């Protein structure tokens, strides 16, 4: 069976109200069934990343894009070149087996958003480039790891 078909079946089971979208509470419960016990705050962050219409829920398009990792990273606004993309993926591959699991992917996205926020704070001219001294670099790297 194709992954997208399996994902659709899973999504439809999680969408118990048959509304076409799922809430953070529904998603947290679905993760718990698979022994993925994320705090509600992490699940809410995931919902926000894929809440394209900003109504507090995630439609099927959200988890469907998780199947296409680089496309998903791009879709949420992180356009990375190949070296940056593969290095980031390798860094968040906790099992070091060449595959990102859902919790790895969520951690990667949270890191990328934090890194972008930090970058934007230093890119005051909105040029897409920054110059940092050592103190600023240490501050950035320490802040993004939290």
Given its phi and psi angles, is residue 82 left (phi above 0), alpha (psi -120 to 50 degrees) or beta? alpha
The answer to whether residues 118 and 144 touch, using CB atoms and an 8 Å cutoff, is: yes
Q: Is 59 helix (H, G, I), strand (E, B) or coil?
A: strand
| Predicted model pTM | 0.53
CATH class of 73-146: mainly alpha
Taking CA atoms, 110 is separated from 26, 49, 66, 141, in Å, by: 21, 9, 14, 14
Q: What is the pLDDT of residues 9-68, one digit of tens each?
A: 989 999 989 999 999 999 999 888 877 788 888 788 778 767 777 788 988 876 665 556
Tokens 């993760």, located at residue: 31
Q: Which two tokens stand for residue 112?
A: 């990328």
CATH class of 1-67: mainly alpha
Q: Who's near 104: CB < 8 A, 6+ residues apart?
A: 92, 93, 94
Q: What is the pLDDT of residues 130-142, one digit of tens each?
A: 998 999 888 887 7
Same CATH topology for 1-67 and 73-146: the answer is yes
Domain residue limits, the chain? 1-67, 73-146
């Amino acid at each position: 069976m194709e992954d997208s078909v399996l994902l659709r079946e899973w999504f439809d089971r999680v969408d118990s109200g048959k509304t076409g979208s799922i809430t953070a509470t529904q998603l947290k419960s679905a993760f718990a069934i698979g022994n993925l016990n994320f705090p509600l705050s992490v699940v809410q962050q995931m919902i926000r990343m894929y809440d394209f219409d900003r109504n507090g829920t995630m439609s099927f398009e959200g988890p469907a894009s998780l199947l296409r990792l680089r496309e998903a990273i791009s879709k949420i606004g992180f356009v990375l070149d190949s070296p940056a993309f593969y290095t980031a993926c390798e860094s968040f591959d906790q099992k070091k087996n060449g595959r990102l699991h859902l919790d790895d992917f969520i951690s990667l996205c949270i890191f990328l958003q934090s890194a972008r926020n930090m970058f934007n704070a230093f890119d005051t001219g909105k040029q897409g480039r920054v110059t940092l001294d050592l103190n600023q670099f240490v501050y950035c790297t320490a802040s993004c790891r939290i």
